Amino acid sequence: MADPQGQGPFRGIYPMLYALFAADGSLDRGANDAQVEACIAGGVHGLAVGGLASECNKLTVEERRDHARWTLEAAAKAASDRVPVSVTVSDNTVGGQIESVKRAAEAGAAWAVLQPPPVKSASEEELIRFFGAVADASPIPIGIQNAPEYIGIGLSNAGLIELNRRHPTISILKAEGTGLYIGRLAEESGGAFTLFNGRNGIELLDSLRHGCAGLIPGVEACDVESRIYDLHMAGRANDADRAFREILPLLHFLMHTIDHLLCYGKRLAARRIGLSEVHDRGPAQAPHPVGMAILDHWSRDLGRLGQ
């Protein structure tokens, strides 16, 4: 089993920021600044932007790059000690990913995460060559998002290990899966990777106990998850377990699908940030009264984020 405390400089809770839209459908920079400030005030250990919860598939290339740049600028203003920011890039070409990584690095990103191109028939060898070409041109550490359940394509554990062997700068994994999957990946890779799980934190403590350095959940409960992480790292296992049991029903409700998370998780995040309204960029799942009632029930004890 890998030791999370020995897994390099990146660790803790890095919430994946939502793409928040104005009434006219454009990205709302003011709302994003408020989101960044609330997360930092809530005690997060870093920020992530550009992934599935950032609706990367609904943004143009320039919007994705703007979202990352705005986040980096807001984070630099909101914290006296710089909060590390991870930028996920989802361009479909090697050249596009290299350019996005370089722009993120120039803006101050601490590390970048590469999503695979949406070619489900691509072989592992093709994916290794794709990721390797981007990593070799990167000025910052590179991670891979391995989430075949959500993206539809990914690498086996053996493929990930071979990728790191050929390209050691690929040293971080956002490996979405169960605690069992994380534990086996940590053992098989022998500490080659700094591991993060996603899945909105539903595997938070199992992930930390079995090889993860941190998690990349949503924004909506990132303050609670950060406290749980801190309790765990302080050796207060019973307190961490107790706090996790209290938040788990909410996390479980939110993490049915990515579309479901974007519908209900974004509304909870907006409420906790203090935004008056959520504007979806369609097509999008619409909230249902029953869903909102369930959300309200399990989030009833959560106040303003960061206060």
Query: Domain holding 266: CATH number?
Result: 3.20.20.70
Domain assignment present for residue 155? The answer is yes
What does residue 240 show for φ and ψ, rounded to 5 degrees? -65, -45
Binding residues for pyruvate: 216
User: Structural domain of residue 15, as residue ranges?
Assistant: 10-298
Domain assignment present for residue 44? The answer is yes
Q: Give the number of residues written for the chain.
A: 307
Domain assignment present for residue 68? The answer is yes
Burial class of residue 66, CB neighbours in 10 A (0-12, 13-18, 19+): middle
Domain assignment present for residue 4? The answer is no
Binding residues: 216
Per-residue confidence in pLDDT tens, the chain, 307 aa: 333 444 468 999 999 999 999 999 999 999 999 999 999 999 999 999 999 999 999 999 999 999 999 999 999 997 656 799 999 999 999 999 999 999 999 999 999 999 999 888 899 999 999 999 999 999 999 999 998 888 888 899 999 999 999 999 999 999 999 999 999 999 999 999 999 999 999 999 999 999 999 999 999 999 999 999 999 999 999 999 999 999 999 999 999 999 999 999 999 999 999 999 999 999 999 999 999 999 999 999 999 999 8
User: In what side-by-side order are the strands of the sheet with 47-49?
Assistant: 12-13, 212-215, 194-197, 170-175, 142-146, 111-114, 85-89, 47-49
What does residue 13 show for φ and ψ, rounded to 5 degrees? -100, 120
Domain assignment present for residue 5? The answer is no
Q: Per residue, what are the HEC states of 190-249? A: CCCCEEEECHHHCCHHHHHHCCEEEECCCCCCHHHHHHHHHHHHCCCHHHHHHHHHHHHH
Q: How many whole angstroms from its chain centre is CA 286?
A: 23
Total number of domains constituting the chain: 1
User: Angle of helix 61-78 relative to helix 94-107, nearest 10 degrees?
Assistant: 20
Per the CB < 8 A criterion, the answer to whether 114 and 142 are in contact is yes
CA dist 45 and 120 (Å) reads 34
Helix (H) or strand (E) holding 145: strand 142-146
Domain assignment present for residue 305? The answer is no
CA dist 128 and 159 (Å) reads 8
* Helices and strands, number each (H, E), in the chain: 13, 8
How distant, in Å, are the alpha carbons of 182, 222, 298 from that of 301?
31, 14, 8
| pLDDT at site 79 | 64
How is residue 170 written in tokens? 């690929």
Domain assignment present for residue 279? The answer is yes
Domain assignment present for residue 3? The answer is no
